[in-house]
Amino acid sequence: MVVRDNLYIDGQWVSARGRETLQVVNPATEEVIATVPAGTVQDAAAAVCAARAAFAGWAATPIEERASWLKKLAEGLRARAEELANIITAELGMPLDFSRSIQIAMPLDIIEGFADMVDCFQDEHIGNALVVREPVGVVACITPWNYPLLQVVLKVAPALLAGCTVILKPSEITPLDAFLLADVATQVGLPAGVFNLVSGTGEEVGECLAGHPEVDMISFTGSTRAGRRVSELAAATVKRVALELGGKSPALVLDDANLAAAIESTLESCFINSGQTCDAMTRLLVPETLYERAVALAIKGASKFSVGDPMGGEAKLGPLVSARQLRRVRDYIQKGIEEGAQLLCGGVGPPAGLERGYYVSPTVFGRVTPEMIIAREEVFGPVLSIITYRDEEEAVRIANETDYGLAAAVWSADEQRALAVALRLRAGQVAVNGGPDNPLAPFGGYKQSGNGREMGRYGLEEFLEVKAIRMPEK
pTM for this predicted structure: 0.97
Q: How confident is the model at residue 376 (pLDDT cuts 50, 70, 90)?
A: very high
- Secondary structure letter of residue 255 according to DSSP: T
pLDDT at 424: 98
Q: Which CATH superfamily is domain 2-245+449-469 in?
A: Aldehyde Dehydrogenase; Chain A, domain 1 (3.40.605.10)
> Is pLDDT at 474 greater than 80 in this prediction?
no
Task: Quote the radius of gyration of the chain (alpha carbons, Å).
Answer: 23
Please give the average per-residue pLDDT across 227-239, as a whole number: 97
Q: Dump pLDDT digits (tens) for 77-126.
A: 999 999 999 999 999 999 999 999 999 999 999 999 999 999 888 899 99
Domain ranges of the chain: 2-245+449-469, 249-444
> Is pLDDT at 313 greater than 90 in this prediction?
no
List, by residue number, the catalytic residues. 244, 278
Angstrom distance (rounded) from CA 417 to CA 254: 9
Q: Dump pLDDT digits (tens) for 393-412.
A: 999 999 999 999 999 999 99
Q: Average pLDDT over the chain, rounded to whole?
A: 97
Alpha-helix runs per DSSP H in 94-199: 96-98, 106-115, 148-162, 176-188
Alpha-helix runs per DSSP H in 303-442: 323-338, 373-376, 392-400, 415-422
Q: Dump pLDDT digits (tens) for 51-72.
A: 999 999 999 999 999 999 999 9
Please give the average per-residue pLDDT across 325-334, as a whole number: 98
> Is pLDDT at 367 greater than 90 in this prediction?
yes
Between the two ends of the chain, the Cα-to-Cα distance in Å is 69
Question: Is pLDDT larger for residue 1 or for residue 136?
Answer: 136
Contact 58, 66 (CB under 8 A): yes
Angstrom distance (rounded) from CA 274 to CA 216: 35
pLDDT at 18: 93
Q: How confident is the model at residue 472 (pLDDT cuts 50, 70, 90)?
A: very high
Please give the average per-residue pLDDT across 432-458, as a whole number: 96
Please give the average per-residue pLDDT across 22-46, as a whole number: 98
pLDDT at 121: 81
Please give the average per-residue pLDDT across 143-170, as a whole number: 98
CATH number given to 249-444? 3.40.309.10
pLDDT at 449: 98
Angstrom distance (rounded) from CA 385 to CA 426: 19
Portion of the chain with pLDDT greater than 70, in percent? 100
